[in-house]
Amino acid sequence: MSAGQKIRIQDLRDPILTEGQRAALAFAERNPVELSVDAVLTAANERTALDDFGPQDFRERLALWLSETDENPDRTHLGRLSLYNDCVRYASNRLRTRRFSMSNSPARSSWWGCRAPARRTSST
């Protein structure tokens, strides 16, 4: 394409969707989600069976992200579902990371104060 050529998208105003795209939109319409901090964190708790999110400073940012999407009239149910699933995944990862870091912290580790065994080298 050379400079100055116009790009024409024929279905920009009224997109022509594939069967898969129509099915995804229909699924999301039939399965609406609640874009709230409580809904996301509850789903993450249920997914992981964990509940220690650590410092709660993330809640305000999560609430802002969810409310901005929730209040956007142009957002499709599929877009809302996609954001919800992303947020639940991030919250679940936060729970798992928190559990891992707490179980491996020096204060909780049974290895605290121990050195790794010396590495053996073969002598010839």
pLDDT digits (tens, 9 = 90+) for 98-124: 988 887 765 544 444 444 455 556 555
Q: Is residue 118 in a domain?
A: no
Mean pLDDT rounded to a whole number for the chain:
86
At 26, the amino acid letter reads A
Q: Determine if the pTM surpasses 0.95.
A: no
55 neighbors 17 (Cβ within 8 angstroms): no
Q: Is residue 2 in a domain?
A: no
Q: Give phi and psi for 101, each to the nearest 5.
A: -70, -35
What lies within 8 Å, CB to CB, of 92 at 6+ separation is: 44, 47, 48
The residue segments making up the domain with residue 37 are 26-103
Q: Is residue 41 in a domain?
A: yes
Q: Is residue 4 in a domain?
A: no
pLDDT of residue 35: 97
pLDDT of residue 110: 44
Q: Is residue 48 in a domain?
A: yes
State the total domains in the chain: 1
21-46 per-position pLDDT tens digit: 999 999 999 999 999 999 999 999 99
- Cβ density class 69-98: b for 16+ within 10 Å, e for less: beeeeeeebeebbbbbeebbeebbebbeeb
